[in-house]
Structure 1
């Protein structure tokens, strides 16, 4: 229900803004054909921009979250509303307008009493088209942390769970049908009744959405996580230990928030308060590492350097890491690897022309990913396709690819009987998970830091693989898996 109200709040807000922009513009330009044609062409061009590209272009200017999603949806809604309003007004029989003028009607009175009522069916048709388009496109808002039903779609893809994907897709389609039918129903009523009904709907949805975002008695701390079961488990652990240690705060979780760059941007702009990060990712993607330090270090040195550079460059603090490492790995089907005699990454070179790879886009673009494999191993695979994390496992299971990137704690390694190849030239740096937060937040919340430090040195690699397996394969809830681990390790008491 929370996702539905988030979806509706974004969609209907975008629709309202688009109406307030497009309808007055169409009215002003209804008698100026040349300018109107230019505007129509411009809005048509805007609608051809792929939604993902548009969101990516907006992020540097307005950050992530609801704002860029709202702007993108408004842009997509402008064309059908403007076009239909303009056509509806420009195609009114000139004799009717002449008759209105003969009765002495002013320009405004003629517009309100004659032109808009006659054009209303076309205007409403454009609004209905825009609404269906917005509700469908709003599922992409989940990619940049704006929530909504797209969260279920992303989660379903990531966990290879079609039921979750269907929940998001079907609910989104049903919302589009329900509100399209509602607009059609109100179209047959008087404009006063329609306006009152729409006002009640907007206020009701807005009120519920605002209530969901508001905590009256306690301070709210927002924790976000990357896509996947492991970040989901970790943020639930963070939530439990914080709330068990400090009764004056409540924790809001934003699971499946997006990729590393989105989370880091959200943390810098104070849209979130903390998220689990990895020491190797900090050095490879988030900070500028001095040339003298640009080498593989021990896990301890990697953490110390990452924390030091985060403090110097961003006034952020990476707390003491957990025990396990979730480093990058290169995986193959056990049967294929044994058939070709491949046990380490350097063995791939002898077969590089015949092997097909399915890598995540992030891995392809990283120096500690495929770029590094090309430089350090002299490896150039015959075919490299980019794909979402969960899809690469489906691809190797179906035989569509032979080699994929993985994380060393992925449950799918066990589930699909894959083998990870030895990194015999030590390309991949240490990756230990740890909470990342702003320096000012850490100073203002010592009890939160104290609570999170209870996780330091906990969770070995086998435990993380098992927890991921429970979520991805056994379909247990991340919150339940996190809670059971904390109780078993006596980090919290059963009653918490």
Structure 2
């Protein structure tokens, strides 16, 4: 009970600082995933078209994923220096694997009969991709983005070691304090809450974009008319 009271007191006294670090933490995670999506989704589509490349690309992304986060930051820091840009780039690298794999899987699993139907209607390759493949694969791609965002929220906490800020700053302050359990929890709780909220929101979007969900909605509309 004393720890809970201490956490409440800390929040009441440092509400502005906690919110600032929360917002900073979220932006670093979101930008890392956003930039990764810009690269990884087209790359996933490319390797789905050229299956022989998939082994090499996914293996490289797997290797990046196995590098410890602190080691990654230490190497990138030597090249990019301290600050948020280094953290965002490291989060970008860690986000590549789930997005590439899910994009690849989603595109590869599209029914070939639908692709042939699109081609038979005179669609170009780009039109088939935009109007058939991406809509059908979007829920799987969204699942990759969901996984990437949750991963980056956790990893972003160590950005404090290179001066990037975020909720890791609060956790680090707690570890340096004599009795800092409440301060550590004051940083850890918002981090966990952010990850849970991100997972719920992205999971909702994933379900909304599911082809089965869209098909049911279309059927209900047709029955209503």
Q: Determine whether 1:106 maps to 2:124.
A: yes
The partner residue of 1:7 within 1, 17, 25 is: 25
Deviations 1:406-429 (A, max 9, x none): xxxxxxxxxxxxxxxxxxxxxxxx
Counterparts of 2:125 and 2:192, CA distance in 1: 41
Counterparts of 1:19 and 1:73, CA distance in 2: 12
The partner residue of 2:191 within 172, 190, 197 is: 172
The partner residue of 1:161 within 153, 159, 180 is: 180
The partner residue of 1:33 within 47, 51, 57 is: 51
Compute the RMSD of aligned alpha carbons: 1.5
Instruction: Quote the residue 1:71 is aligned against.
Output: 89
Q: Please identify which structure carries the higher strand content.
A: 1
Cα offset, 1:153, TM superposition: 1.1
Counterparts of 2:206 and 2:64, CA distance in 1: 28
Instruction: Tell me the matched-pair count.
Output: 191
Instruction: Detail structure 1 runs of 4+ shifted over 6 Å in the superposition.
Output: none
Instruction: Quote the residue 1:346 is aligned against.
Output: none
Counterparts of 1:103 and 1:161, CA distance in 2: 66
Report SS of the residue matched to 1:105.
coil
The partner residue of 2:109 within 64, 68, 91 is: 91
Cα offset, 1:189, TM superposition: 4.9
The partner residue of 2:140 within 113, 116, 122 is: 122
Q: Please identify which structure carries the higher helix content.
A: 2
Instruction: Quote the residue 1:136 is aligned against.
Output: 154
Cα offset, 1:183, TM superposition: 2.0
Q: Determine whether 1:184 maps to 2:203.
A: yes
Q: Counterparts in 2 of 1:89-488, with a 5 A limit?
A: 89-159=107-177, 160-189=179-208
Report SS of the residue matched to 2:49.
coil
Counterparts of 1:122 and 1:66, CA distance in 2: 30
Alignment TM-score, normalising by the size of structure 1: 0.38
Deviations 1:260-294 (A, max 9, x none): xxxxxxxxxxxxxxxxxxxxxxxxxxxxxxxxxxx
Counterparts of 1:148 and 1:51, CA distance in 2: 16
Deviations 1:424-453 (A, max 9, x none): xxxxxxxxxxxxxxxxxxxxxxxxxxxxxx
Q: 5+ unaligned residues in a row in structure 1: which ranges?
A: 191-496
Q: Determine whether 1:51 maps to 2:45.
A: no
Report SS of the residue matched to 1:30.
helix
Cα offset, 1:166, TM superposition: 1.0
* Counterpart contact for 2:77–2:86, Cα < 8 Å: yes
Cα offset, 1:22, TM superposition: 0.3
Deviations 1:286-338 (A, max 9, x none): xxxxxxxxxxxxxxxxxxxxxxxxxxxxxxxxxxxxxxxxxxxxxxxxxxxxx
Report SS of the residue matched to 1:64.
coil
Cα offset, 1:68, TM superposition: 1.1
Deviations 1:9-32 (A, max 9, x none): 111111110110100111122111
Counterparts of 1:43 and 1:169, CA distance in 2: 28
